[in-house]
Amino acid sequence: MKKLLLAASCAFALTFAATSLHAAETPMNNPLLPAWTGPYGGVPPFDKIKVEDFVPALTAAMAENRTEIDKIANDPAAPLSTTRWSPWNAPARR
């Protein structure tokens, strides 16, 4: 029982520490989140990207995707291809 409690405590502490580290990263200072500019429809600013930027950027992108999916799933309109598949297949808006 003590081992189980210790394992749960360690898991909670690690989760809390990881969340605290990523909470400090705001969208304003993450170079992966703003719209990219340049040739080929925009390219990321490779000279400004750090390894630590990936988790917050991917988390933000997944949250944005979930919001879009919820919007499509909760659309009160009749479930036609224009109300379900067309928005899903539309290119990203950023």
Would you give per-residue pLDDT tens digits along the chain (94 residues)? 444 444 445 444 445 444 444 444 456 789 999 988 888 888 999 999 999 999 999 999 999 989 988 988 888 887 777 767 776 666 655 5
The 3 state secondary structure assigned to the chain is: CHHHHHHHHHHHHHHHHHHHHHHCCCHHHCCCCCCCECCCCCECCCCCCCHHHHHHHHHHHHHHHHHHHHHHHCCCCCCCHHHHHHHHHCCCCC
Would you list the domain boundaries of the chain? 27-89
Tell me the pTM. Answer: 0.56
Question: What's the alpha-carbon Rg for the chain, to the nearest Å?
Answer: 19
Contact by Cβ (8 Å): 53, 30: yes
> In sequence order, what are the beta bridge partners of 37?
43
